[in-house]
Structures are given as C-alpha cells and as structure tokens.
Amino acid sequence: MSDALPTASRFGRRDFLTAGLGIAGGVTLWAGGLTGPATAAGAERALWREERSANGWPVTSEVHEHQVEGTEQVTVPLLAGDVATVLLFVARRINYEIATLDAGEVTGHTMDRAVSARYESNYLSGTAIAIRPVLYPAGSKDGLFPHETVVIRDILADCEGVVRWGGDEKIPKESHFQIDVGPGDERLATVARKFEQWDRTPGAGPGTINAFVSERQRAAKSLERRQRAA
C-alpha cells in the first residue's frame, strides 16, 4: 500500500500536486551497525501535506500512550482500539523473541510531517510504529540476522496481511511496521479479536509461539510473496 517518495531531483510540478508533498531539505542517516549503507533516495526528506496518511487513515493528534506488555518502561503513542491491539502484538513478540526493548526504543505517533518515504506518513495517523529506529533507519537494509527475519515474517503471518513491514519497501526501513488496511476494514477487527482471545487463553500468544515450525514458515513465506509483489 505504501511506496517510496521520488527524490527531489525527480519532482515535477505534477508530482507535488498529486503526491501532496513539499521538499523540506535533506537529512543524513546514521546506519550504525548495519551492513547496508543509507541510499541516496533514503536521505531525501519532504513534508507530508495530505490530511490522510499513505495507508488511508486520517492524520490526528488524538492518540493514547500504550504500555508494551512484557517490558518495564516501554510505552508508545498509538491510535486507540484495534490499531493499538495489533501493533502492540508486533512489539510484544519482538521483545520476547528478538531483543528486549528498553524505554525510548519504540516510537509511534508524531506530529512531525517531515518524512523520508511515503510510509512514514503513517506515524501521523498513529497507525505505525518503529522499533529501534536508530539501529534500523530508512535507507538501510540487511540489519537483521536470518533467524530474526524468520520471526518478523512469522509475526506478519499472524497479522494476516493487515500489517506491512518496512523491510519490504523500496526505501527499506527494517524498524517500521504499519497497519496496511484502511479505516473500517473488517480484517483489522478480526485480527485484533484473535489477539485479544489469545491474551485470555493460557499458553497462547506472545512468549509461547515457535516461529520455526514448518507449517508456520510455509504460511509466512506465502504472505511474504504476496506482500513483496504488492
């Protein structure tokens, strides 16, 4: 649903009018600890001028701070309701299965309209999170070990396509996860109810899942092919 912004040198008047973007200057990206360098396209920033983010949700200031369960002090501002339920599931699994998260390592809603790719506008609607964005900035890739990527793909499969990963974008951002369906889409509510049921069921949900079971890996690969082709 999201794609990369054109670089400043490629912007024509029609691009400005149709994309709703205004150039705000460049920014240097730090790719500390990553094997993939920041790309030239990833270094461009622009102002998002639309009243909806790239995934179709309204830009808003009405968000709530949510605790990431399983952490001591990690909170993130998100749109309340099903959006928060699903994105917090993503953060919880990463905390349990990839890296223990500390305060300040998960970011969400912002009112800063400067974006380096269209998908970053989704922070404005409270429908996206970035997990350890300093380590995994826009424009860098291959920052995850193979087994960590397996877990990411399994998380996406549990989300049944309603969450998209920034690692699949033209300008990659491996810290980025966004709601990838629009407001009112029943698939989001269905997945949120599933996660809520898991929370009420002993032995289910984050902390109990084995991402390396062959059946789960097949489901994850199937979704990966569909999302990469989108």
Q: Measured between alpha carbons, how far is 226 from 200 in angstroms, rounded to an integer?
A: 31
- Interior/surface letters 55-82, b for 16+ CB within 10 angstroms, e for the rest: bbbebbeebeebebbebeebebbbbeeb
- Assess if residue 14 is contained within a domain: no
Phi/psi for 221 (5° steps) reads -65, -40
- Assess if residue 173 is contained within a domain: yes
- Asked whether 210 and 216 are in contact (CB, 8 A), the reply is yes
113 CB-side CA count, 13 A: 15
Q: What is the pLDDT of residue 44?
A: 78
- Assess if residue 10 is contained within a domain: no
- Asked whether 119 and 212 are in contact (CB, 8 A), the reply is no
Strand 176-179 and strand 128-131: the pairing is antiparallel
- Assess if residue 2 is contained within a domain: no
Q: Measured between alpha carbons, how far is 33 from 40 in angstroms, rounded to an integer?
A: 18
- Assess if residue 194 is contained within a domain: yes
Q: What is the pLDDT of residue 11?
A: 29
Mean pLDDT in consecutive groups of 10 residues from the start of the chain, 230 residues: 35 31 36 33 78 98 97 96 98 96 97 97 98 96 95 98 97 97 98 96 89 95 93
What secondary structure letter does DSSP report for 142?
Answer: -
Domain containing 202 equals 19-229
Q: What is the pLDDT of residue 92?
A: 97
- Number of structural domains the chain divides into: 1
Q: What is the pLDDT of residue 17?
A: 30
Q: Measured between alpha carbons, how far is 138 from 99 in angstroms, rounded to an integer?
A: 20
Q: Measured between alpha carbons, how far is 95 from 105 in angstroms, rounded to an integer?
A: 11
- Asked whether 43 and 116 are in contact (CB, 8 A), the reply is yes
- Assess if residue 6 is contained within a domain: no
**Amino acid, res. 87:** L
Q: Measured between alpha carbons, how far is 136 from 166 in angstroms, rounded to an integer?
A: 10
- Assess if residue 8 is contained within a domain: no
- Assess if residue 7 is contained within a domain: no
End-to-end Cα, the chain, rounded Å: 7
Q: What is the pLDDT of residue 203?
A: 86
The set of residues, in sequence order, having a beta carbon less than 8 Å from that of 61 and lying 6+ positions away, is 111
Q: What is the pLDDT of residue 184?
A: 96
